[in-house]
Amino acid sequence: MIEFLSGAVAMGFLVAAGFFGRFWRQTADRLFLAFAVAFVLLALNQMLAQWLGAADERIAYTYLLRVLGFVIILGAIVDKNLSQSGKKRDSKKA
Amino acid sequence: MEDAAFSDEFCRFLRAAVPSVDAAELLLLLQRESARWWSAPEAAAELAPAVVLSESDVARYFGIFQASALVAVAPDKRVQYLPGFSALEAHVQTLEQAYRERPVTLIRVIYALRDNSIQSFAAAFKLRKS
Amino acid sequence: MGTLNLLLTLLAVLASLTCTLLLFRAYAGNGVRLLLWSALCFVCLTGNNVLLFFDLAVFPELDLRLYRLCASLAGILFLLYGFLWEAE
């Protein structure tokens, strides 16, 4: 059961990352790139945790990937709020 | 007309009050004939055949203009161009100038500003609503 | 290592909680359904992170794993549903 859930979750994170990547391509908004990267890290975290197994000591370090993913999301939020004027003004040129 | 004319406030005005190019045409019509009270069928007929809008579309735009304090509304649902404050008047003039001098840019900006759900997702992470 | 784990997992909780709150706030403001599903996703991911915090930093035994997986799965299902049906 655990393996099934773990695989499903990892797959889900990867698909979500794919969607975020597409949104990034559509909107050119860095926020979506950050979310895509973060969700890839969450997927990696999930896969590594499963692969290393519950008894392995090293498993604690795989969760750094998850934390890193969320830190990237936090960074993207900060970045979005600090650079407000950037995104839509390129339609000015014509 | 310089790029600076498409300022942040003007774009905010566009996003709030001018959801499409047809709405821009309608608003400019109201401004041109600002002495007149327009009903939705009359405005739709006046804009045709260059701009095709159904009466319900026109009525919807009237509602948006009213919400943005651009028109006065009579009890019989007719509207008259009446900007609520001078900043709005200035924005409509900018709109008119942009329509004349930089139509391609204006059209591009109007459509770029329309929020779809993906853009709303990104906008959710702005801490201060600009 | 214990304190570091604590701080890092709390950071993850903070991040997912921030996303949850911002998405709910925006949904309350404009009613865009995608935001509702995204917010629900981050509720589950926050739950997951909180459970992770207990797993790593408080309790040495790992039997919260099944619950963490269920929370993650629920979260990602909410998000994917939102992306498939509500994202233009």
Long-range contacts of A18-24 (CB under 8 A, 24+ apart): A19/C80, A19/C83, A19/C87, A23/B118, A23/B121, A23/C87
Q: Hey, is the C-beta of C9 within 8 angstroms of any chain A C-beta?
A: yes
Q: What is the pLDDT of residue A87?
A: 46
A70/C9 CB distance under 8 A: no
Residues of C in contact with B124 (CB under 8 A): 22-23, 25-27, 35, 38
| B14: confidence class by pLDDT, cuts 50, 70, 90 | confident
Radius of gyration (C-alpha) of chain B in whole angstroms:
15
Considering only the beta carbons, identify the residue of A26, A32, A92 that sits closest to B105.
A92
Q: What is the pLDDT of residue C54?
A: 85
Q: Given pLDDT bands bounded at 50, 70 and 90, which one contains residue A35?
A: very high
CA distance C78 to chain A (A): 10
Distance from CA of A23 to the nearest CA of B (A): 7
Q: Is C38 on the interface with B (CB under 8 A)?
A: yes
- Say how far apart CA C42 and CA C45 lie, in whole Å: 5
Contact criterion met (CB < 8 Å) for A91 and B122: no
What's the mean pLDDT when you consider all of chain A?
Answer: 84
CB B115: neighbour CB atoms within 10 A? 15
Which range, of A17-26, B16-25, C43-52, C60-69, averages the lowest pLDDT? C60-69
Out of C25, C30, C88, the one facing B118 most closely (by C-beta) is C88
Query: Measured between CA atoms, how close is A9 to chain B, in angstroms?
Result: 22
- Are C35 and B127 a contacting pair at CB < 8 A? no
Does C42 have pLDDT greater than 90? yes
Distance of alpha carbon C37 from alpha carbon C46, whole angstroms? 14
Q: How far is CA B105 from the centre of its chain?
A: 15
pLDDT for A85: 46
| Distance between CA atoms of residues A63 and A92, nearest Å | 44
Binary contact (B125, A93; C-beta < 8 A) = no
pLDDT tens for B49-72 read 888 888 888 988 898 899 889 999
* DSSP alpha helix (H) spans, chain B: 8-17, 21-32, 40-47, 55-67, 86-101, 103-113, 117-124
Contact C34 B127 (CB under 8 A): no
**Secondary-structure breakdown of chain A: helix, strand, coil percentages, each rounded to the nearest 5:** 85, 0, 15
**Distance between terminal CA atoms of chain A?**
58
The residue with greater pLDDT, A90 or A6, is A6
Give the pLDDT confidence of B71-130 residue by residue, as tens digits: 999 999 899 999 988 899 999 999 999 999 999 888 888 876 666 788 889 989 988 754
pLDDT of A84 higher than 70: no
Which is more confidently placed, B116 or A56? B116
**Which of A5, A9, A19, A37 to mutate: most C Cβ within 10 Å?**
A9
**Placement of tokens 């006046």 in the chain:** B46
Q: Name the helix (H) or strand (E) containing B73.
A: strand B71-73
How far does the CA of residue C42 sit from the closest CA of chain A (Å)? Answer: 11
C-alpha A16: how far from its chain's center? 9
pTM for this model (two decimals): 0.64
Segment C3-36, tens digit of pLDDT: 887 888 899 999 999 999 999 999 887 778 899 9
Contacts for C84 with CB less than 8 Å, ≥ 6 apart: none
SS (HEC) of C63-81 = CCHHHHHHHHHHHHHHHHH
8-state DSSP, A85: T
Which ipTM value was assigned to this complex? 0.91
**Rounded to an integer, what distance in angstroms lies between the CA atom of residue A22 and that of residue C30?**
23
* Distances from the Cα of B69 to the Cα of B11, B25, B81, angstroms: 16, 17, 9
